Chain A
Amino acid sequence: MNLKPETLSKIYEVITHYPVKRSATLPLLHLIQEEVGYIPEDAITWIAAKLELEPINVYEVVTFYPMFRRQPIGRRHIKVCRTLSCALLGGYKTCETFEKEFNTHRGEVSPDGEVTVDFVECLASCGTAPVVLIDDELHEKVDCVKAKQIADQIKAEAKKR
């Protein structure tokens, strides 16, 4: 695994947070996913070796937690909340708007490679429903109109690049 030195130093540091190495499985997966964008095949064996585990132990964890993805995603990750409060305020329409704007389906990478739209479970901001988590930014009260605005902005940023 070819990781950046900063990532590696963070990895070594975080392992020291726990008396049992195995606890560092989730932090290491997060760090690798932050750098690479997803969890590549060799990350699992690399982590297993580093934490003195069997690859199956890491593989079990990667597939249990939905935030870890095994495939690359679009440049931007749009997570729309699908749980009750957001759905009651139109969350499904919000998700559809994003899908339509980028000509994609949830779970896939859009044709232009710019976004992946995912429908996720409660993001704990139900008071400002519908909510959308785009990369690390939480967007609140995202109805269809606002969704389109956000989509336009993403496309504008993409053009600039």
Chain B
Amino acid sequence: MSAPVAKPADLVTVNIDGKEIAVPKGTNVIEAARLVNVDVPHYCYHPKLSVVGNCRMCLIEMGMPAVDPATKAPIIDPATGKQKINWIPRPQIGCGTNVSPGLHVKTTSPMVKDAREGVMEFLLINHPLDCPICDQAGECKLQEQSTGYGRGYSRFIEQKNVKPKRTQLGPRVVLDDERCILCSRCIRFSKEVAKDDVLGFIDRGSYSTLTCYPGKELKNNYSLNTVDICPVGALTSTDFRFKMRVWFLKQTNSIDTETSVGANTVVWSREGVIYRITPRRNDAVNDTWMADSGRVLYKQVQAADRLTAVQINGNDSALDIAVNTAAELFKAAPGAVAVVGSGRSSVEEQFLTKQLAAALKAAVVLVSRVGEGDGLLVSADRNPNVRGALVTGLISALPSSQPTGLAADIDAGKVRVVVAINEDLAAAGLTAAQLTKVSVVYLGTHKNATSDAAKVVIPTLTVFEKSGAFVNQQFRLQKFLKAIPAVAGATDDLVVLARLVAAAGGATVAGDLAGVWKSLAAAVPALGAVTFANLPETGLLLDAAPFAALPFAEGATLHFKPTAKA
């Protein structure tokens, strides 16, 4: 993370291992060191939680420049000709120390090495030798730091403490108390971020044990974040337990599609199979957190109701035939086609949907999906990309809660063909009767009432099988990347949409990401000079002003405040 830009008056100059750097006031030594690529090992410190300073791993040597107490003149060391530094004889914790002007820090001195080896040794003496069966192996801070700073042999010949192992702390989290190093990150997270004060330490000293009150569980919708931040394998995910060693997993950056928060995620996969999703740090969107309910979305990929065959009237077919069939349907109902787009489609797909609607002279409807926001990372809008539809011009007003206009048009016979893009019209509010009145061309990922009733079914891709971008509630354009190959039988949405556009008689459009972006950037001035390739990892804020008057459903969440209506 790069240092945020601060006014010069707010910058403090410190010296870390001989390197001078100016950092904003209030930065602690661990973060300051990070900025000069110096790693200060730590367990209990977390940039998004309160500081407790109890692991003592981040101990470093500190000193302040010496000044004459009376005159405040700097005292010069004759040997070096530079200002003498009064090194504090005891090591100090880096996490709890904020920078002060002239602060000098040593992270490689014998004192620091001794301190780290001491803390490592102490952490390991009661720690069980579970590495071969522990899920955390490969991403365990204890393993990493004992490699870097440990002693390499054990002097402990006593009996290790025995504590409860394999406790089901909640539906999604397993606790192994013997592995716990009592850093208290999970307790602080539950209290400070999830606002569910349900964890605590009982007993005392080395027998301290993490637990919930008997009868209570760690089951809030952010419980899995404790698994992410647990530096060891004490808290592990029930879903991921014993499934895969992390060093075999490929990491792909993605976006949580659960709501318009657009939490940044990492998708972990191996050989085309996804094993878990974890949050990715974005200090402007989701910090280092995501909701549990967003993590399970990867299960969609191999769900039993996944569409895997192009079908025409319920019979397996092929893409070309399907496209032709669609073309005929369009020709037979000129001006009587409606397009139901999706707030779950990517910006690129919405752009092509707009081309399709234009070619068909069709009205566009988006399906609304509103729930209750939890004030944290689940917003009231359960569509991740309604704003993408606004920015691309696919829609100009927010989707209404019921597709009453479309329903009326269908009943009146004004709409005879509907192109439904990954939305179940029945669930959206159309009746079964209305569904039978129209011919549906369905592009989507999972079987539903609409796909059952559709004349043409073309399976498309989940967010994990393609790349694209979403615009979140902050009007931040964020990209997601393809993690796994498409399931057999499904086709990339952009390819399908491009072919449908052609089938509808529209101008030829590209069906690949780069090609779509060329047109997208040209057609949408708000995007300016951005390309998919140069879109920053932390996203790009677009101008929200043109849409300021719209009654967005979202309330405040972690990094979002709804703008006051004029």
Contacts and interface: CB of A to CB of B under 8 A. Distances in A.
User: What is the interface residue range for chain A against chain B?
Assistant: under 10
Interface string A54-78: 1111011001100000000000000
A44 interface: yes
A60 B203 CA distance: 7
Interface string A94-109: 0000000000000000
A64 B200 contact: no
Contacts of A57: 197, 200
Interface in A26-76: 44, 54-57, 59-60, 63-64
A129 B154 CA distance: 40
Interface of A: 44, 54-57, 59-60, 63-64
B213 A44 contact: yes
Interface in B518-553: none
Contact of A55 (B201, B203, B204, B216): B216
B352 interface: no
Contact of B197 (A44, A54, A63, A64): A54
Interface string B202-220: 1110000001110010000
Contacts of B213: 44, 54-56, 59
Nearest to A64: B204
Interface string B112-134: 00000000000000000000000
B215 to A, nearest CB: 8
B199 interface: yes
Nearest to B215: A55
Contact of B204 (A54, A56, A59, A63): A63
Given A55-B216, A56-B212, A63-B204, 4 more contacts: A44-B213, A60-B201, A63-B202, A64-B204
A56 B203 contact: no
Interface of B: 197-204, 211-213, 216
A56 B200 CA distance: 6
Given A44-B213, A59-B213, A54 B201 contact: no
A126 to B, nearest CB: 23
Given A44-B213, A54-B213, A59 B203 contact: no
Contacts of B211: 56
Given A44-B213, A59-B213, A54 B198 contact: yes
A54 B200 CA distance: 10
Nearest to B203: A63
A59 B197 contact: no
Contacts of B216: 55-56
Nearest to A58: B213
27 contacts: A44-B213, A54-B197, A54-B198, A54-B213, A55-B213, A55-B216, A56-B197, A56-B198, A56-B199, A56-B200, A56-B211, A56-B212, A56-B213, A56-B216, A57-B197, A57-B200, A59-B200, A59-B213, A60-B200, A60-B201, A60-B202, A63-B202, A63-B203, A63-B204, A64-B202, A64-B203, A64-B204
A44 to B, nearest CB: 7
B161 to A, nearest CB: 15
Nearest to A60: B200
Contacts of B201: 60
Nearest to A63: B202
A64 B211 CA distance: 13
A54 B197 CA distance: 7
A68 to B, nearest CB: 12
Contacts of A60: 200-202
A57 B198 CA distance: 8
A44 B202 CA distance: 13
B174 to A, nearest CB: 19
B194 to A, nearest CB: 13
Nearest to B204: A64
A54 B195 CA distance: 12
Nearest to A65: B204
Top 4 nearest A-B pairs by Cβ distance? Answer: A63-B202, A55-B213, A56-B200, A60-B200
Contacts of A56: 197-200, 211-213, 216
B195 to A, nearest CB: 11
Nearest to A55: B213
B202 to A, nearest CB: 4
A100 B204 CA distance: 30
Contacts of B212: 56
B198 A59 contact: no
A96 B212 CA distance: 38
Contacts of B202: 59-60, 63-64
A59 B213 CA distance: 7
Contacts of A55: 213, 216
Contacts of A54: 197-198, 213
Contacts of A64: 202-204
Could you say which of A54, A55, A56, A60 has the most chain B C-beta atoms within 10 Å of its C-beta?
A: A56
A55 B197 CA distance: 9
A113 to B, nearest CB: 27
B177 to A, nearest CB: 14
B211 to A, nearest CB: 8
A55 B198 CA distance: 8
A51 B201 CA distance: 19
A80 B254 CA distance: 63
A64 B197 CA distance: 18
A56 B216 CA distance: 9
A121 B443 CA distance: 74
B170 to A, nearest CB: 13
A55 B204 CA distance: 18
A56 B209 CA distance: 12
Nearest to B197: A54
Contacts of B203: 63-64
Contacts of B204: 63-64
A64 B202 CA distance: 6
A116 B198 CA distance: 34
A44 B212 CA distance: 13
B54 to A, nearest CB: 15
Nearest to B212: A56
A137 to B, nearest CB: 27
B550 to A, nearest CB: 40
